[in-house]
């Protein structure tokens, strides 16, 4: 898979992402490019974009991109913090599809926990207290 690493990730990560063809924003001469411009440029170059920019998916419409995005949430962008996440990053690269976002690290665990709780709540229905509160508001 052709993978583009954002400039907020260290070059040392390249060696850890085996079995993928890795390019970097800096290596392509795009350092300092704004996200919108960067995403346009990446369209013909990559199948997956790996970044630590957690706001990217809220600032841009990822669904229209011809590649997937992997957002890494780690305490820092240093290899001691990223190395434990390499298996998750590799797995996310296998899962990610064009126009979709995969989360790795702390946000991924939080997101999975939240989605699991939402599904549980949907199955259980409202609690008796919520039902009573709703009927009070209707009356």
State the DSSP string of 44-58.
TT-SEEEE--TTHHH
Q: How large is the average pLDDT for residues 32-41?
A: 95
Residue 139 included in any domain: no
Nearest Cα to Cα of residue 2 among 38, 17, 87? 17
Residue 132 included in any domain: no
Residue 126 included in any domain: no
The string over 116-132, giving b where at least 16 C-beta atoms fall within 10 Å of a residue's C-beta and e elsewhere, is eeeeeeeeeeeeeeeee
Residue 6 included in any domain: yes
Residue 111 included in any domain: no
Q: How large is the average pLDDT for residues 74-86?
A: 96
Cβ-contact 65, 98 below 8 angstroms = yes
Residue 113 included in any domain: no
Give the mean pLDDT of the chain. 86
For residue 24, what is the domain's CATH number?
3.40.50
Residue 10 included in any domain: yes
Cβ-contact 67, 101 below 8 angstroms = no
Number of domains in the chain: 1
Per-residue pLDDT tens over the stretch 42-54? 998 999 999 999 9
Q: Please give the helix or strand (H or E) that residue 5 lies within, else none.
A: strand 2-5
Which residue range is the domain that position 65 belongs to?
2-105
pLDDT at 123: 61
């Amino acid at each position: 898979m052709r993978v583009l690493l954002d400039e907020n990730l260290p070059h040392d990560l390249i060696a850890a992402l085996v079995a993928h063809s890795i390019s970097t924003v800096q290596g392509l001469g795009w350092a300092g490019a704004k996200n919108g411009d960067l995403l346009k440029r990446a369209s013909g170059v990559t199948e997956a974009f790996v970044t630590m920019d957690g706001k990217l998916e809220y600032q841009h419409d990822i669904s229209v991109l011809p590649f997937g995005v992997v957002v890494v949430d780690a305490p820092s962008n240093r290899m001691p913090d990223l190395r434990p996440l390499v298996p998750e990053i590799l797995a996310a690269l296998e899962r990610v599809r064009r126009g979709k976002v995969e989360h790795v690290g702390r946000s991924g665990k939080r997101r999975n926990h939240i989605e699991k709780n939402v599904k549980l709540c949907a199955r259980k229905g409202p609690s008796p207290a919520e039902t009573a509160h709703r009927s009070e508001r209707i009356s």
